[in-house]
Chain A
Amino acid sequence: MSLLWLKVAVLLYGVASLAVLPAALYDRPKWRHVAIPATVAGVLFHFVSLAEMLNAAHHRLPVETHEVQSLLALLLAASFVAVYARYKTVALGIFVLPIAFLLSVLAAFRPGQEQLLPLRSGWIFLHIALLLAAYAALFVSLIASLLYLIQERRLKSKQPSLTWLPPLETTDQIALKSLLFGLPCMTGGLLIGSLVAQQTVGASYFLDPKILLAFAMWLAYCGMIFIRRHSGLRGRRAVYLSSFVFLVVLTVWAANQFSSVHRFSAP
């Protein structure tokens, strides 16, 4: 049943991804009235699907790459709704919604072999969810920084402004606040992961390249927030910085391949 709800959610994300284009690019309010409810409904169905899946697993967590991607999709779609609720801009949806759709469509139509984790996997789930929330926040921040850059370039070059682009201060706020939201998520996710690892593997876990990279990522994330807040970094350099940290995150994600202890197949 959970798969059915997920498919409905994917469909709704698809509708929202298409509707957001005329809503944002052509400033058509009626399409906004399609995109926002579709996303909200998609998030709800997705959440129900996830809850049912967790319930059906009876404290045994299905962790397979596709499911993790699907959870990231849910967080991205939810972040879009949150940004809309706070700043009334749908511009972010042009980038965020199609990615949420693509990430969830794999889980809905090509479910992989589920790897069941033992009882304490509640903590593992929290570890994954928090880190994914931090990734989603970073992604939203990167998109907002890009939108800032586009708007800034247009204003500088004195070209007629694109109506769908939010004001600079709004995109700057979205970029910074999503980072500020992401930091506690990342910190919590890493701490939980470390505690679980400490109990299961012991101190040697912390010499794993994936884990070292994960802490480097946390430092980079902290550094980025510090620089943005204290030097007021905006525009081009902010995009470079966000892109750099985003690359670090992707590296950490990909480092599963090189890790001996941090694998889905690992206990």
Chain B
Amino acid sequence: MKNLKPELVVSNAAEKLSERTLVLLGINHTTAPIEVRERLSVPAGRLADATRSLLQQPGIREGIILSTCNRIELLTSQEMVADAVDLPRFLEEYFAVPSASLAPHLYEYREREAVRHLFRVASSLDSMVVGEPQILGQVKESYSIAREVGAVSSTLEGLLQRAFTVAKKVRSETEIGSSSVSIASVAVDLARKIFGSLQGKTVLLVGAGKMSSLAARHLIQQGASNIVVTNRTQARAEALAAEFLGTSAATSVLAFEQIYEQADRADIVITSTGSGRKLFERSHGQQFLDRRRHRPMFFIDIAVPRDVDPRMNEVEGCFVYDIDDLQQVAQANLADRGREAEAAESIVTQEVERYQQRLQSLEAVPAILALQQNAEAIREAELAKAAKRLGALTPEQQAAVDALTRSLTAKLLHPQLTALRRAAAPKGDE
């Protein structure tokens, strides 16, 4: 501590906290249709690579990419001077999407608004179905990948940790996370409108996504008695099927090659492969219905890009809902959740305030530290000079002189330190 020059501490702190800016750029389900979103989707396996590419952009100090079915967002901490940072161009180049088709759907938030948006996203207030629990896990996943590639340090680390705390608070203090507003329960509601009781119904899971597994669990709770799992990778299908072993449903694994021969056995098909090509075309729907003697089939396509050709919905007896359609249905439920969402929004607003306060007080910390270190250096220098004049002191006398000088410097510094802390505190909070 003795060796540190106070001016240096202040200048380092200033560089850290004042010369960076927080910028969030993205598209989501409210600004872009699924056709645009599916072109910007980053598969989980490529997220680390995408985050590295983001970090290589000039002026970017830290960065996280959040890519889900409903959004892609770049959260970055940038150098203040770096006007050259062009996040839209990064998106255009990385995904090879022309600017004209992307620009109308983009939104950008800075500083406080970026913090607010992140808190809302993590708390599932910005989700397609408000209160759905998956988004927090997805934010954590993105954070963890960004940490692994070294794209997160002081600014985003603190911000993300705060976002997780806020999300937890929202979930525990409001009813927003109740199951009736999740995508899975929307799907179950629809299934009940088609089939009435789900007793004895067969559910086919194509792909092994978490959300499809959750939807299947909801369907089992409502009486679905057969779960058939299929996946391109047989082992993953078997692993997912094993998850349902403890439930009331009979579980089996279907070889992926037999999907077109066997899919008509299922009343409800949940697809989540996101393979990039349509797994089920319109003609498949017609074949399935013919083989089922036109008993209805419900396709829940939660993959982005979509697995089921939306034109299959035109086949009489086929009901195809993709992720946007589920949103549409969820809107009706959302009206009932308005009160909870309002309560959650006010928690987010308070937390944004608290975070900003904390940031401001952190900005004052270097100045306070510098003042204290300067005073301590002066005190020690003056003590050293006085020691020659005072001669040999007993340990008790040495301790008394030490305490006296410390007390003096503390009292002399008190008005300045108080003024600094007050200046750092937000207005009205003094």
Contacts and interface: CB of A to CB of B under 8 A. Distances in A.
B294 A160 contact: no
A169 B296 contact: yes
B313 A166 contact: no
A160 B197 CA distance: 20
A160 B193 CA distance: 11
A167 B193 contact: yes
Contacts of B279: none
A234 interface: yes
Nearest to A173: B196
A168 B313 contact: no
B16 interface: no
B212 to A, nearest CB: 20
Counting chain A CB atoms within 10 Å of each CB, the highest count among B193, B313, B317, B325 belongs to B193
A170 interface: yes
Contacts of B293: 230-232
Contacts of B331: 160
Interface in B293-334: 293-296, 313, 316-317, 319, 321, 325, 328-329, 331-332
A158 B321 contact: yes
B329 A235 contact: no
Interface in A204-249: 230-237
Contacts of B317: 234-235
Nearest to A154: B193
A231 B294 contact: yes
A55 interface: no
Interface in B264-317: 292-296, 313, 316-317
Nearest to B293: A232
A160 to B, nearest CB: 4
Nearest to A165: B193
B189 to A, nearest CB: 8
A155 B325 CA distance: 10
Contacts of B109: none
Nearest to B314: A156
A160 B195 contact: no
Nearest to B201: A169
B424 interface: no
A108 B294 CA distance: 45
Given A233-B294, A234-B317, A158 B329 contact: yes
A151 interface: yes
Given A231-B294, A235-B317, 15 more contacts: A151-B193, A156-B319, A158-B321, A160-B329, A160-B331, A161-B329, A167-B192, A167-B196, A169-B194, A169-B196, A169-B197, A230-B293, A232-B292, A232-B293, A234-B316
10 closest Cβ pairs, A-B complex: A232-B293, A232-B294, A167-B196, A160-B332, A169-B196, A170-B196, A158-B325, A169-B195, A168-B194, A158-B328
Interface of B: 190, 192-197, 292-296, 313, 316-317, 319, 321, 325, 328-329, 331-332
